Amino acid sequence: MPSVDFVPQPTADGSFTFFSAEFNEAFHSQYGARQEAERKFVEPTQLQYKAQQPQLRILDICYGLGYNTAAALATIWQVNPRCYVEVVGLESNPDVPKSAIAHQLLQSWDEPVPRVLTQLANKHQVQTSNCKAALLIGDARKTIQTLHQLNFQADAIFLDPFSPPHCPQLWTVEFLQQVALCLTPHGRLATYSCAAAVRTALIQTGLKIGSTPPVGRRSPGTVAAWEAIDLPTLSPEEQEYLLTRAAIPYRDPQLSDSATVILQRRQQEQNASSLMSTSQWRKQTIKNSKNALQNT
């Protein structure tokens, strides 16, 4: 049993999530936790197509309740039950996946997914005939470096920390550089975030980015890969927004600073920047839209 229990909270698609008092955020969108896992992470990383391969590797950053991994395994094995899947999950709080198991929140997926992830939550490792999984507990800024040193390369990376204002340490250029090193040449990274600072950081790692459809909310997600082939393009507005102060990324040079220091560093850089502010950009966008309407 977890030492600290989390209370399940319903979301709009009938699945449940938890609320983090530490980060003052829910783990998933209120529009649907399972829906978010499937459409924000599994679909953009094209696992339903890659499942035809004999072997796949997945890196689940901020494993949490385990929904992203559950959705991935279910999708892959529905297409190809013989596909051998290796999963590495990074998680700071082992009580979160344990609480998800204790409340039977993964039982909506077909076996063997709940059985595999129950063992993963309790033992932090599992090996079966078609799956090998490990849950690395600790600061993801440290465990990601360990993975890189082990030459771990993932076909799909799920980037799912709490939001940048609440957990900036896992959205910095330096952290995402380490993450990018763990992505195969033809792999894809997916995240729910469309924050300009996050997208800029991904671009600075050398990745190409695209926009994924909104799921339950107005804002889209982001998908990244080493090549832009088949990536959904950013809208003109999204591209313009990357030229504002909002796009100044978070930085953590030694991968060890506190959230407060990282936020302050970015704020100082924004204050000193000559780039257009978000409010100026919005006014300009509205003005351009009005002019376009008048000229039609």
| pLDDT, tens digit (0-9, with 9 covering 90-100), for 8-56 | 999 999 999 999 999 999 999 888 999 999 999 999 999 999 999 999 9
**Residue 240, number of CB atoms within 10 A of its CB:** 16
* Confidence tier at 1 by pLDDT (50, 70, 90): low
Q: Are 199 and 209 in contact (CB under 8 A)?
A: yes
Per the listing, tokens 């799921």 go with: 215
pLDDT at 296: 57
- Rounded Cα distance, 217 and 241, in Å: 19
pTM: 0.94
- Sequence spans of domains, the chain: 9-234
Per the listing, tokens 């107005």 go with: 218
- 3-class secondary structure for 56-113? EEEEEECCCCCHHHHHHHHHHHHHCCCCEEEEEEEECCCHHHHHHHHCCCCCCCCCCH
pLDDT at 287: 65
- Which amino acid is present at 263? L
- 3-class secondary structure for 215-257? CCCCCCEEEEECCCCCCCCCCHHHHHHCCEHHHCCCCCCCCCC
pLDDT at 285: 72
- Rounded Cα distance, 296 and 292, in Å: 6
| 295 pLDDT above the threshold of 80 | no
- Rounded Cα distance, 86 and 142, in Å: 20
The least confident of 114-128, 157-171, 205-219, 230-244 is: 205-219
For strand 221-225 and strand 183-191, is the pairing parallel, antiparallel, or unpaired?
antiparallel
DSSP character at residue 169 = G
| pLDDT, tens digit (0-9, with 9 covering 90-100), for 48-103 | 999 999 999 999 999 999 999 999 999 999 999 999 999 999 999 999 999 999 99
Decide which of 3.30.310.160, 3.20.20.80, 2.70.98.40, 3.40.50.150 is the CATH code for 9-234: 3.40.50.150
Please name the residues in contact with 13: beta carbons below 8 A apart, sequence gap of 6 or more: 31, 32, 33, 34, 35
Per the model's pLDDT, the better-predicted residue between 293 and 240 turns out to be: 240
| 292 pLDDT above the threshold of 60 | no
Please name the residues in contact with 221: beta carbons below 8 A apart, sequence gap of 6 or more: 40, 44, 190, 191, 192, 193, 194, 211, 212, 213, 214, 215
Closest CA to 39 of 214, 253, 230: 214
Question: What is the separation, in whole angstroms, between the first and last Cα of the chain?
Answer: 64
Q: Are 203 and 230 in contact (CB under 8 A)?
A: no
| pLDDT, tens digit (0-9, with 9 covering 90-100), for 171-228 | 999 999 999 999 999 999 999 999 999 999 999 999 999 999 888 767 899 999 999 9
pLDDT at 280: 85
| 269 pLDDT above the threshold of 60 | yes
| 294 pLDDT above the threshold of 60 | no
Decide: helix, strand or coil at residue 134: strand
The least confident of 154-158, 214-218, 265-269, 278-282 is: 214-218
| 119 pLDDT above the threshold of 60 | yes
- Torsional class of 71: left (φ above 0), alpha (ψ -120 to 50), beta (otherwise): alpha
Closest CA to 193 of 49, 88, 8, 61: 61
